Copies of this chain bind each other. A is one copy, B any other.
């Protein structure tokens, strides 16, 4: 598939050693310890050329964080307080050891990875608790509220915006350890009730294997497949308003929620299980995306779908330019024939990389693309697949093909999307390899209406490209009749964390300036928080603060800036 890869022999010795447990690297490395995805030779070549790096630059790896974790931050809670937590959740479920404190206070931002490589730990919990039951959590929330102890929640830990940083110390609740069970699969209602700490693969497996495990008539799917699928929890999906790679068909995580159960300092409640109801503003909506700032999400009832993998139809197209790709996907999204399950268009810069990543470059398809005159740096890739009932799925693909043809797209078979599917959860593994050689990679994303997509795309790109030797790849991957998202990936050789932070701030400034939403599916966390006041306006922020104050009058729930709710005015970011 990869064809002739040329005569360039040098290829770095990428790290393939699973990190030793207990090390910094074991915390910041994405995914399974023993799994890796290295830049392939074509991508490596491109990186070297773009950044004007030599083979010598890839001889020695940077600090790799292979040291055992040490945490110099003293535990601020008293031994009496810790004893209370042990009494509630059981001795073995409460820990103050360095490793647990650091591990469960870090997510997967670039910045956290860089700090951990340098053995820098800051915003850690005093105590890590692995609650067993809702009753445990209820008792913990009550006690923390009484004692004014900050309380954080750790789901899968895949946050890319400091969602799990324990900026004020205190306690963090690790949900995945025990709170990970199926409570009920209701086949009549097409719903499943699970504990919030259940991880993506377990959730999906329970549904796929429902016939064997729950004696159902059919097997099911949850329809939620974010790139972090393997390392994120059902509760995390909802708390951060996540969106999976198949959201154009299945909906985002919050669309999939039937009801939720929360433990808050103000009390415990479960929202009502109705397919629809007109009894005023719905708690089920008010709680969505609240990122642990109102309370602890303990259980959720999710909508499920018949599992029909046999009905998947794949497609890929190459368009002469970004405009054609945008127009085609807009027409698809507004076509009233149902939506593809995966739909994704890459801009010209990402397309050049994608052709390398998805095994197109050097293949027969590549020859066809060249033959037909689709030019590098202009042409744009579109991949996707359709799902659902058989005829429905086939009709969606047929219409997609028709619309893409009308917009000068050339059909590329289903192969590129098959390759994409194969590696769909693996791309984040690339980061550690790049970081090992001083190359930073990060992503920011925004929701955008159709009439503003080019303005936002150009605005953010022109900021990024002002910096020499910087890659800026963009795709849209979640589609709606009213718009889509733009997902910006930048890659740059940077060793200074402050340069990186300034650059990231500049990107967010420009997303805001050019009218994107501050996040499409990553949530807000403590990273985007400084932009929230200007983005929503004080009137709307005041409403969120009123809710925060109601649920959490003592400010113990995920404090330290989450969603900008307890951010002091001087911490806010205003556009320059």
Contact = CB atoms under 8 A, between A and B. Distances in A.
Interface of A: 186, 188-191, 240-243, 252, 258, 266-269, 271-283, 285-291, 303, 305-306, 308, 330, 334-338, 387-389, 391-392, 395, 398-399, 447-451, 478, 480-485, 517-524, 528, 532, 535-537, 539-540, 542-544, 546-547, 549-551, 563
B539 A267 contact: yes
Contacts of A273: 449
A563 B280 contact: yes
Contacts of A518: 277, 279
A65 to B, nearest CB: 29
Given A266-B539, A336-B306, A542-B266, A520 B289 contact: no
A276 B290 contact: no
Given A252-B276, A389-B336, A517-B274, A281 B482 contact: no
B550 A272 contact: no
Nearest to A516: B274
A271 B540 contact: yes
Contact of A280 (B188, B290, B539): B290
Nearest to A398: B391
B336 A392 contact: yes
B478 A276 contact: yes
Copies assembled: 2
A551 B544 CA distance: 12
A524 B279 contact: yes
B303 A481 contact: yes
A523 B451 CA distance: 34
Contact of A547 (B252, B281, B537): B281
A390 to B, nearest CB: 8
24 contacts: A189-B482, A241-B278, A243-B278, A268-B539, A271-B540, A272-B517, A275-B448, A275-B483, A276-B483, A277-B520, A278-B517, A279-B524, A280-B563, A281-B286, A281-B289, A281-B290, A282-B289, A286-B286, A306-B336, A335-B389, A337-B391, A338-B392, A389-B399, A391-B395
Given A338-B338, A543-B547, A550-B546, A279 B528 contact: yes
A537 to B, nearest CB: 6
A543 B522 CA distance: 26
B337 A389 contact: yes
The residue in A268, A336, A480, A563 that gathers the most chain B C-beta atoms within 10 A of its C-beta is A336
Contacts of A277: 241, 447, 517-520
B336 A308 contact: yes
Contacts of A550: 542-543, 546
Given A528-B279, A546-B550, A189 B450 contact: yes
Contacts of A258: 482
A560 B543 CA distance: 23
Given A276-B447, A522-B278, A482 B191 contact: yes
Contacts of A286: 281, 285-286, 543
Contacts of A388: 336-337
B305 A275 contact: no
A389 B305 CA distance: 23
